[in-house]
Chains A and B, each alone.
Chain A
């Protein structure tokens, strides 16, 4: 039993999240050494994982569990962390948040070689999951616990196929069967041997090395097996497994939802946890990871929870403001598909929303005229819409939704709003809607530090103040951060040590790449923690909205210029956009932002084409590459286009990227856990794109 169904599917024999959590607690309390090394959370840098980590941290805190949190950005880093952790003897629970679902975790290459008491809990929203992790048996398989959302139940056929392939020898090829049948027991022996010899570091290292090698060999072996197939039955099994892995990637239940269900089972739900879960869900929805249908499924759960946990609201106009200084309640609300409209001017909010942009064709003059026309029809004067939303006439605000509902259908905008939530923060600020919070946090995650960004100063619009009207973004000044910087840059460093510091800086000329990596690592970790802290702190969160606005402005700017200049090259199977210049190049070398741009382009092109040729509605996936000048490489993002706005299709690029990469031997690197995001050497891009094209044709 190595995957957990959600609580509502549990029976007497099947345990679920609650039991798994309790087993972590029990192991923690029973073990004689319960330092922070025993429970470790590995968190990937996305909003969902961040929320999940925060929720789990809350639960652990209530249970007095000492834990350790390590942000991990990508597979290669996971490998380093794994190598670090294998020597930690006390480790007994490793929790992977939004990572590792697709990896063959029971293998020696990952967590096979770990201490036998250790369990790995995988809470990952990415699909498909690795079948060996899900259904693996034996000592190594049992320690991998996948917290599943019930989808694994439906993989019974894959399960069968996997078992058949694992345990039945291949009748056709002698050596192959020998190898296969030998494989499992050999592994076990090796493991025992390892435990015996684990006292001597030497022996351990040796067996570890072997394990890694074997892991690789087995994989290549697996590939060879595919080509050697002859038996029908076997072939169908193989086929089924292949299909499972190659049908593309998609997203399941968010990690934060999993933790929320856990909290429900433990009966420890509170408004904080609910809010984090909502953020996780909203993140998945606004970044087009889940479809509207799935969103609504979870929305209805949270909707009920909101009414369970919060006092009923007084009727009237008070729904948009906090009732008391201590009002931290979560409320339900309808969210318009405008970008941050409560914090921007109405015009800007509409201008920068991808939904409006695609429906009106905002990248053309015509589209912009349409937008002003729409506003005029609604009876909003231009002056009003150029004002901060908070300063708009109050009756206009009140009527906004009604008037939109009346006028918008004329422009083909029928689903202007979706049900969402917002949270009050006492008198420290206006209530914040979930999607605004998500925008802010993801902006912090992506570009808080590491890129110089100008943000707009309030009141500086239209030359209102001095020219320029912007100031460079500074990371939200947690006093701690600035203090540390001061310490680093202390003036009265004696001349001797300053010279020494310089010498250190000058020395590694050959290892320049290395140093750059270190630098890079530093900024993203800093961003990670700033975002993590901003989850509960309204101050930085509100500041981050400004940053998010700058990001969206850059997206529109670049997107518009791409369409204007006709930079989209269309192949038979996908569109390609290559960004090599522009003011925001540095910003787009972040995967998160580049995929936002790709999504914007997808929706823009989808609607554009549907306007012109109404009969043939086929949306092609997008590949967007962006030049990163500092590393002289391209960041490539592949996004599949769904037919409709709220629809989501499986992303097939993760696989095509891998194949294309193998075929053209490009020098590439997967920086993140998402395989549809790729970093590729500058010179290899052309070749790669060509191969990718062929790949999809074939």
Chain B
């Protein structure tokens, strides 16, 4: 029975994968082969449907055509669901690190899980966001986190990971591990978000 497959079996696998990914809150590796085989299935289905449609009497279509049709649109829905889920996850990741794209892309762990198209997508998404942000950067910084509104201009941070010399408006700062710095919040907000620094209350 193993060999006999229903239409849409593969698509179910894909959706299951998405579901697993949501439940563990992990990004799984882009399942390229599965996506490809689903697309192949789509083509086969389409071919079959087409032959049916040509041969059949237009007034009296065979029910098989309806089944093919349903299978095709289901596969399509599954593919879309899979990709939307991934894109949502990527966008979440993007915002979680405060729009620091290089931070995501330089992480080989994450990078390995992305398909080339997704990398392109992230890049374009980033440039769109930056463009949008640039229009009114004087009035409002849409990248700023809003969970804890800042109370002070300066913030005391503890360096969790070495992050080298950072150039700021006010000069360069050499953040070395296990030291504390009183710095302008705006200068290092992104480093806190990325987990290099920690705010000390």
CA distance A84 to B181 in the complex (A): 16
- Residue in B closest to A492 when the chains form the complex, CB atoms: B26
Which residues in chain A, 50-81, are within 8 Å of chain B measured between CB atoms? 57, 60-61, 64-71
Cβ–Cβ contact A69 & B181, under 8 A: yes
CA distance A453 to B83 in the complex (A): 53
Chain B, interface residues (CB within 8 Å), range: 20 to 34
Cβ–Cβ contact A68 & B179, under 8 A: yes
- Residue in B closest to A68 when the chains form the complex, CB atoms: B181
Cβ–Cβ contact B180 & A64, under 8 A: no
Cβ–Cβ contact A64 & B173, under 8 A: no
B79 to chain A minimum Cβ distance, whole angstroms, is: 27
Which residues in chain B, 72-117, are within 8 Å of chain A measured between CB atoms? 109
Which residues in chain A, 514-539, are within 8 Å of chain B measured between CB atoms? 522, 525-526, 529, 533
- Residue in B closest to A480 when the chains form the complex, CB atoms: B198
A460 to chain B minimum Cβ distance, whole angstroms, is: 34
Cβ–Cβ contact B171 & A526, under 8 A: no
Cβ–Cβ contact B183 & A35, under 8 A: yes
Q: Which chain B positions have C-beta within 8 A of A88?
A: 174
Which residues in chain B, 149-201, are within 8 Å of chain A measured between CB atoms? 153-154, 156, 158, 160, 168, 170-174, 176, 178-184, 187, 198, 200
Cβ–Cβ contact B178 & A60, under 8 A: no
Q: Which chain A positions have C-beta within 8 A of B198?
A: 480
A446 at the interface (CB under 8 A from B): no
Cβ–Cβ contact A70 & B179, under 8 A: yes
Determine which of B172, B173, B179, B184 lies in contact with A69 in the assembled complex, contact meaning CB atoms within 8 Å.
B179
Q: How many residues of A contact B (CB 8 A)?
A: 30
CA distance A482 to B180 in the complex (A): 19
CA distance A33 to B26 in the complex (A): 42
CA distance A57 to B184 in the complex (A): 15
Cβ–Cβ contact B178 & A36, under 8 A: no
Cβ–Cβ contact B173 & A36, under 8 A: yes
Which residues in chain A, 23-57, are within 8 Å of chain B measured between CB atoms? 33-38, 57
CA distance A60 to B180 in the complex (A): 13
A494 at the interface (CB under 8 A from B): yes
Q: Which chain A positions have C-beta within 8 A of B176?
A: 70
A394 to chain B minimum Cβ distance, whole angstroms, is: 37
Best-surrounded residue of B26, B156, B176 (most CB of chain A within 10 A): B156
B112 to chain A minimum Cβ distance, whole angstroms, is: 9
A439 at the interface (CB under 8 A from B): no
- Residue in B closest to A524 when the chains form the complex, CB atoms: B178
A449 to chain B minimum Cβ distance, whole angstroms, is: 13
Determine which of A37, A61, A64 lies in contact with B172 in the assembled complex, contact meaning CB atoms within 8 Å.
A37
Q: Which chain B positions have C-beta within 8 A of A484?
A: 160
Determine which of A33, A36, A492 lies in contact with B183 in the assembled complex, contact meaning CB atoms within 8 Å.
A36
CA distance A27 to B59 in the complex (A): 92
Cβ–Cβ contact B173 & A61, under 8 A: no
Q: A66-B154, A66-B183 are in contact. Are A35 and B178 (CB under 8 A)?
A: no
CA distance A533 to B156 in the complex (A): 12
Q: Which chain A positions have C-beta within 8 A of B173?
A: 35-37, 68
A90 at the interface (CB under 8 A from B): yes
Which residues in chain B, 55-82, are within 8 Å of chain A measured between CB atoms? none
A199 at the interface (CB under 8 A from B): no
Q: Which chain A positions have C-beta within 8 A of B109?
A: 494, 497
Q: Which chain B positions have C-beta within 8 A of A66?
A: 154, 170, 181-184
Q: Which chain A positions have C-beta within 8 A of B179?
A: 68-71
Q: A61-B154, A497-B109 are in contact. Are A69 and B180 (CB under 8 A)?
A: yes
Q: Which chain A positions have C-beta within 8 A of B171?
A: 33-35, 37-38, 90
CA distance A31 to B158 in the complex (A): 25
Q: Which chain B positions have C-beta within 8 A of A64?
A: 153-154
- Residue in A closest to B179 when the chains form the complex, CB atoms: A70
CA distance A57 to B156 in the complex (A): 10
Q: Which chain B positions have C-beta within 8 A of A497?
A: 109
Q: Which chain A positions have C-beta within 8 A of B174?
A: 37, 84, 88
Cβ–Cβ contact B181 & A67, under 8 A: yes
A62 to chain B minimum Cβ distance, whole angstroms, is: 11
Q: Which chain A positions have C-beta within 8 A of B160?
A: 484
Determine which of B153, B154, B180 lies in contact with A68 in the assembled complex, contact meaning CB atoms within 8 Å.
B180
Q: Which chain B positions have C-beta within 8 A of A525?
A: 178
CA distance A60 to B182 in the complex (A): 9
CA distance A84 to B154 in the complex (A): 25
Cβ–Cβ contact B182 & A61, under 8 A: yes
CA distance A357 to B110 in the complex (A): 62
Q: Which chain B positions have C-beta within 8 A of A526?
A: 178
A44 to chain B minimum Cβ distance, whole angstroms, is: 14
Q: Which chain B positions have C-beta within 8 A of A522?
A: 178
User: Can you give 30 contacting A-B residue pairs, CB < 8 Å?
Assistant: A34-B171, A35-B173, A35-B184, A35-B187, A36-B173, A37-B171, A37-B173, A38-B171, A57-B182, A60-B182, A61-B154, A61-B156, A61-B182, A65-B182, A66-B170, A66-B181, A66-B183, A66-B184, A67-B182, A69-B179, A69-B180, A69-B181, A70-B179, A90-B172, A480-B198, A484-B160, A492-B26, A497-B109, A529-B178, A529-B180
Q: Interface of B with A (CB < 8 Å)?
A: 26, 109, 153-154, 156, 158, 160, 168, 170-174, 176, 178-184, 187, 198, 200
Q: Which 5 A-B pairs have the closest CB atoms?
A: A33-B171, A35-B171, A35-B170, A36-B181, A69-B180
Known A35-B171, A35-B183, A529-B178; further 11 A-B contacts with Cβ < 8 A: A35-B170, A36-B181, A36-B183, A37-B172, A37-B173, A57-B182, A66-B182, A68-B173, A494-B109, A522-B178, A529-B158
